[in-house]
Amino acid sequence: METEKNYHMTADDFRKQGHALIDWIARYYETVEALPVLSQNRPGDVRRQLPEHAPQTGEPFSVMMQDVERIILPGVTHWQSPNFFAFFPSNSSYPAVLGELLSAGLGVQGMLWASSPACTELETHVMDWLVDMMDLPPGFKSDSAGGGVIQESASSGALCAIVAARERATELASNRRGCNGRLTAYASTQAHSSIEKAIKLAGIGGENLRLIPTDARYAMRPDALAAAIGQDREKGLKPFFVAATVGTTSVNGMDPLPEIGRICQAEKLWLHVDGAMAGSAAVCPEFRRFFIGLDSADSYCFNPHKWLFTNFDCDCFFVRNRAALIQALTILPEYLRNQATESGAVIDYRDWQVSLGRRFRALKLWFVIRHYGVEGLQHHIRRHVRWAQTFAGWVSENEAFELTAPPPLNLVCFRLRGSDALNQTLMDRLNQSGRLYLTHTKLNDRLVLRFCVGQTHTEFHHVQQAWNLITTFAQDLQKKQ
Ligand SMILES: *Cc1c(COP(=O)(O)O)cnc(C)c1O
């Protein structure tokens, strides 16, 4: 009997190419530190090398991998390089990569419990583990009124929090009648841009977000928060939402949660706490002091895809009252009706996020936690913090440099004494050298360099080598002046 031609990759081919690809990834991790960390590509370099049209007939996988090496790799900034100290880490690990692969292999769509029970239940369970592992408020656990869900990003988490807060503040009317422009929200001047974006997306209006000044350590000033809320009430506006940050993006500033929490409780405002990177530090008891007061938060999120060895995307989002979140986000068309949902005995995570469909993200986080164990995660987080502190010590001992603020965790902000232009040139030259990658921020209108330690394969000698490079390049620059 003649079978109709099909174009699929055979299982045998998949095995062969798949094994080779795993070898390729392992070799990549073993050798990535030799590659220029920051891609040296100019705009258009990748596209110029790609054919204008999609191929009419299929091509062998081996040819695609040749193009990966030839065209793609030079256009990659190597986030997994041990010499990556820019922005925030996005640290991956072998168990995470394997979890991601398995998730792709299973190809599950976990919108409902019924659409794949394990996808939902593993996620709920791992989120409960995290509450215990990090000593988070018990009200975030699934056996309380709250619970946790994996979102794609802290930005999505903030949006969900704001929409839930908006519904609560408008007595469940804003989803039906829209927002009337009288709701006001608060975050510090150092809050991440995703808060402003979420405020705009939720229809609150960018002008209704008040940016509260910070103190000398770049933490939100509770007195200024209280004053801003009071002024808005006097104008007849309706304060409804405060975003506090544990570990601001620019300098790792720590907003004072206990004071902010007290204000939010007295004023009946939704408190969202954004711990995007620093949140991972809570696996270590000695860093939990930054999270005191988290029990007054209505929602909280942090990103294992930043600093917990789990590749993007994986944001852990917790709420204290899941009914508030679900009320704001639920939608039930006929084609999604099913017995499990009607019984009320299951969680349907489509009601906890913006999109309907969802990936089986819990697998990679589960693999990571089980591979490292709590002690393994603590060990690596501690090393990063210790090395950042050591680096900060070197900065303060060197007269050519100044430390912007004492680093609470793994992010050091510093500058070469001299003009912004000098610091910019120093950073550009370092990054062009390809031997490390760091980025900058502006604080009090001055350019400041940021050095963030958090890559999976970073060792102490990489930090030492980075400091040697920074001081050598700086000396060179100052000689030429
Ligand atoms: C990185 C960061 C974010 C954004 O994270 P995404 O997951 O990329 O949306 C939000 N808040 C803070 C404090 C951050 O540092």
Answer whether residue 381 is part of any domain. Answer: yes
**Which one of 19, 54, 76 terminates a domain?**
76
- Residue 332: its pLDDT value, please? 80
| pLDDT above 90 as % of the chain | 92
pLDDT (mean) for 413-426: 96
Give Cβ neighbours of residue 416 (< 8 Å, ≥ 6 apart): 400, 401, 422, 423, 426, 449, 474, 477
Q: For the chain, what is the mean pLDDT?
A: 96
Higher pLDDT: 177 or 269? It is 269
Name every residue whose Cβ is closer than 8 Å to that of residue 283 and which is 6 or more positions away in sequence.
Answer: 133, 134, 308, 374, 377, 378, 381
Share of the chain above pLDDT 70, in %: 99
For 345-393, give the DSSP string: -S--GGGGSSSS----THHHHHHHHHHHHHHHHHHHHHHHHHHHHHHHH
pLDDT at 479 over 90: no
Question: Averaged over 295-312, what is the pLDDT?
Answer: 98
Span 244-285, pLDDT tens digits: 999 999 999 999 999 999 999 999 999 999 999 999 999 999
- Domain-located, residue 4: no
Quote the pLDDT of residue 2: 66
CATH number of the domain that residue 17 is part of: 1.20.1340.10
Is 25 contained in some domain?
yes
The confidence score (pLDDT) of residue 435 equals 96
Rounded to the nearest whole angstrom, what is the distance from the C-alpha of residue 195 to the centroid of ligand 1?
9
- The answer to whether residue 243 is domain-embedded is yes
Do 112 and 21 fall within a single domain? no
Cβ of 194 closer than 6 Å to ligand 1, yes or no, is yes
Q: Which domain holds residue 438?
A: 375-480
Q: What is the pLDDT of residues 206-226, one digit of tens each?
A: 999 999 999 999 999 999 999
Pairs from 205-212 (Cβ < 8 Å, separation ≥ 24) = 205/179, 205/181, 208/181, 208/183, 208/184, 208/237, 209/184, 209/185, 210/184, 210/185, 210/186, 211/187, 212/186, 212/187, 212/188
Residue 134 DSSP symbol? T
Query: Closest ligand 1 atom, CA of 313?
Result: 7
Q: Which pTM was predicted?
A: 0.96
Among 214, 274, 311, 312, which residue has the most ligand 1 atoms within 8 Å of its CB, making it the best to mutate?
274
Is the per-residue pLDDT at 1 higher than 70?
Answer: no
Q: Say whether both 56 and 178 belong to one domain.
A: no
Report whether residue 259 contacts ligand 1, using a CB cutoff of 6 Å. Answer: no
Q: Are residues 179 and 308 in the same domain?
A: yes
- Residue 278 shares a structural domain with residue 199: yes
Shared domain check, 121 and 60: no
pLDDT at 62: 93
Any atom of ligand 1 within 6 Å of the Cβ of 411: no
Looking at the fold, whether 354 and 406 belong to one and the same domain comes out as no
Task: Report the C-alpha gap between 354 and 335 in whole angstroms.
Answer: 18
Residue 32 is predicted with a pLDDT of 97
Q: Does residue 246 line the site of ligand 1, with CB under 6 A?
A: no
Using DSSP's 3-state secondary structure scheme, residue 299 falls into strand
Reported as a single tens digit per residue, the pLDDT across 49-97 is 999 999 999 999 999 999 999 999 999 999 999 999 999 999 999 999 9
Residue of minimum CA distance from atom 8 in ligand 1: 153
Residue 333 has pLDDT above 90, yes or no: no
Residue 89 pLDDT: 96
What DSSP string describes 68-115?
IIIIIGGG---TTSTTB-SSS-----HHHHHHHHHHHHHT---SSSTT
- Give a yes or no: residue 447 inside a domain: yes
Residues 253, 180 share a domain: yes
137, 241: one domain: yes
Tell me the C-alpha to C-alpha distance, in Å, between residue 433 and each of 75, 351, 361, 399, 481: 16, 48, 36, 24, 20
Q: Is the CB of 347 under 6 A from ligand 1?
A: no
Task: Confirm whether 365 is domain-assigned.
Answer: no
Q: Indicate if ligand 1 lies below 6 Å from the C-beta of 251.
A: no
384 shares its domain with 262: no
- Residue 99, domain member (yes or no): no
Task: Decide which of 359, 389, 422 is a domain's last residue.
Answer: 359
Whichever domain contains 465, its CATH number is 3.90.1150.10
Model pLDDT for residues 228-247, shown as the tens digit of each residue? 999 999 999 999 999 999 99
How far apart CA 296 and CA 293 sit, in angstroms, is 6
Measured in angstroms, how far is the CA atom of residue 150 from the centroid of ligand 1?
Answer: 14
Domain identity same for 193 and 317:
yes
CA distance 280 to 296: 19
303 Cβ below 6 A of ligand 1? yes
pLDDT of 341: 83
How many domains are there within the chain?
3
Other Cβ atoms closer than 10 A to 54 = 5
Residue 123 lies in a domain: yes
86 lines ligand 1 (CB under 6 A): no
Cα 411 to averaged position of ligand 1 atoms, centre (Å): 15
Instruction: Give yes or no: residues 124 and 46 share one domain.
Output: no
Per-residue pLDDT at 145 exceeds 80 = yes
**For residues 442-454, average pLDDT:** 96
Residues 173 and 63 in one domain: no
